[in-house]
A and B are shown apart, each in its own frame.
Chain A
Amino acid sequence: QKEVEQNSGPLSVPEGAIASLNCTYSDRGSQSFFWYRQYSGKSPELIMSIYSNGDKEDGRFTAQLNKASQYVSLLIRDSQPSDSATYLCAVNQGIGSARQLTFGSGTQLTVLP
Chain B
Amino acid sequence: NAGVTQTPKFQVLKTGQSMTLQCAQDMNHNSMYWYRQDPGMGLRLIYYSASEGTTDKGEVPNGYNVSRLNKREFSLRLESAAPSQTSVYFCASRATGPSYGYTFGSGTRLTVV
Q: Which residues of chain B have C-beta atoms less than 8 A from A34's C-beta?
A: 101
Cβ proximity bits B19-33 to A, threshold 8 Å, 1 near / 0 not = 000000000000101
Contact with B along A67-108 (1 / 0, CB 8 A): 000000000000000000000101010000111111111100
| Contact, CB under 8 Å: B101 / A90 | yes
Check B58 against A99 for contact (C-beta < 8 Å): no
> Is the CB–CB distance between A88 and B43 below 8 Å?
yes
In angstroms, Cα B76 to Cα A34, docked, is 25
Q: Cβ of B101 and Cβ of A101 under 8 Å apart?
A: yes
CB of A31 within 8 Å of the partner chain: yes
In the complex, chain A residues whose CB is within 8 Å of the CB of B74: none
B107: which A residues are within 8 A, CB to CB? 42-43
Residues of the A chain whose Cβ atoms lie less than 8 Å from the Cβ of B31: 97, 99
A105 and B42 in contact, given A90-B101, A92-B98 (Cβ under 8 angstroms): yes
Contact, CB under 8 Å: A46 / B99: no
A44 CA to B48 CA, complexed, in Å: 18
**Does the CB pair A44–B40 fall under 8 Å?**
no
Shortest Cβ gap from A96 to chain B (Å): 8
Binding site for A on B (CB under 8 A): 31, 33, 35, 40-45, 48, 50-51, 54, 56, 58, 90, 98-99, 101-107
Residues on A facing B (Cβ under 8 Å): 8, 31-32, 34, 36, 42-46, 49, 51, 88, 90, 92, 97-106
